[in-house]
Amino acid sequence: MKTMRALLATFLFLAPLAVFCGEERAVLLIHGGAGVRRADLEEEREAAVRAVLEEALRAGHAVLLGGGSSLDAVERAIVVMEDAPEFNAGRGSALNSEGVVEMDASIMDGGDFLAGAVAGVVEVRNPIVLARRVMTETPHVLLIGEGAGRLAREQGLVFEAPEWFVMPRQQERLEREKRRSGAANPAAGEPAARMGTVGAAALDATGRLAAGTSTGGMANKRPGRVGDSPLIGAGTYAENGVCGVSCTGHGEYFIRGVLAHEVAALMKHGGRDVAAAAREAIHGQLEERGGTGGMIALDAEGRVGIAFNTEGMYHGWITEAGEVRIEIFDQ
């Protein structure tokens, strides 16, 4: 009798939760970079950022509704954010110490376990599209600089003039950084000056997970510096049945900690759920080593893991039913 009552109580407790989780299953989770501070976030900018995040979520969701793959949804959502000057990716990217935009991006298909990435790319409007072409059109995973540019031309991708990428906000940021820390030393600057990358993770109707990340890197970086964003396992990772992850923050720390893959490892070998794994990667490993940043992680059930140790990180997700949620700071 006691057991029956306990079972009934458990069922009553779990039943609404299960329904709730079912309804809330996220299919696309995105971020627009860590490092945002309440004090710096003007109303107008917040509204612009929220609008782009929502547009990216809806665009990716439409792809999924139309039968597109998680990979297609990730690419679509990131293209929207690359094209928006509000983020440090594509147009609006951070400038290197010579005032030039050099971009990095990567994408991974957790189903076929394939990945593509580019680093140090100039003038290519959408580095995430090029990263995907590396995956599908070459036998390689990562192409850099001129070689990556050549593939973009062969593939007929869109190019823009160097000035098209440069936004006054990033020029001011570079000037501030130079005053503060001297030549090419982003690590000496404030966290807010190093961030703003975009990323996405998606789950499609067939259960495939994908993830991608795109960035201009850290303001005042040395020309040729490559961060974590184009490195599979560090800034981006996806594995079917486990999770899709995209990171943002001080790249050198994410590279050394192989943090995107760490989330999958914690889930697979450490029995953590996606939320606990993301928290542990950021508040445990990254923080203990002195790094700052954040990540998004989506599991195979559509549960989200979000963690950041900066004051804020632009992020949001859309459910199967099309409900959008956008957050910036801790609740």
Q: Where do contacts with ligand ASP occur on this chain (CB under 6 A)?
A: 33, 88, 194-197, 215, 217-218, 227-229, 248-249, 251
Q: 163 exposed, middle or buried (CB, 10 Å; 0-12, 13-18, 19+)?
A: exposed
SS3 per residue for 278-328: HHHHHHHHHHHCCCCEEEEEEECCCCEEEEECCCEEEEEEEECCCCEEEEE
Min. distance of Cβ 190 from ligand ASP in angstroms?
13
Q: Which residues contact 16 (CB under 8 A, 6 or more apart)?
A: none
At 273, phi and psi to the nearest 5? -85, 175
Smallest gap from Cβ 44 to ligand ASP, in A, equals 22
* Catalytic residue flag (residue 197): yes
Q: Which is nearer to ligand ASP, 126 or 310 (CB)?
A: 310
For ligand ASP, which is the closer residue by CB, 194 or 272? 194
Q: Which DSSP symbol is given to 163?
A: H
Phi and psi angles of residue 48, each rounded to the nearest 5 degrees, phi first: -65, -45
Shortest CB 31 distance to ligand ASP, Å: 9
Least Å from the CB of residue 155 to ligand ASP: 24
Nearest Cα residue to 96 out of 160, 34, 178, 31: 178
CB nearer to ligand ASP: give 221 or 303.
221
Angle at the Cα of 138 from the Cα atoms of 132 and 139, rounded to 5 degrees: 115
Tokens of 173: 């940021």
Residue with Cβ nearer ligand ASP (116 or 249): 249
| Order of strands across the sheet that contains 26-36 | 142-144, 114-121, 103-109, 209-215, 198-203, 26-36, 312-319, 324-329
Using the minimum distance from each CB to ligand ASP, give the nearer residue, 34 or 63: 34
| Alpha-carbon radius of gyration of the chain | 19
Q: Which of these, 74, 29, 20, 14, lies nearest to 299 by C-alpha position?
A: 29
Q: How far is the CB of 217 from ligand ASP (least distance, A)?
A: 4
- Taking the complex as a whole, the smallest distance from the CB of residue 111 to ligand ASP amounts, in Å, to 25
In angstroms, what CA-CA distances link 65 with 4, 19, 181, 203, 211?
A: 42, 21, 48, 12, 18
Catalytic pick among 10, 136, 138, 197: 197
- Residues annotated as part of the active site: 197
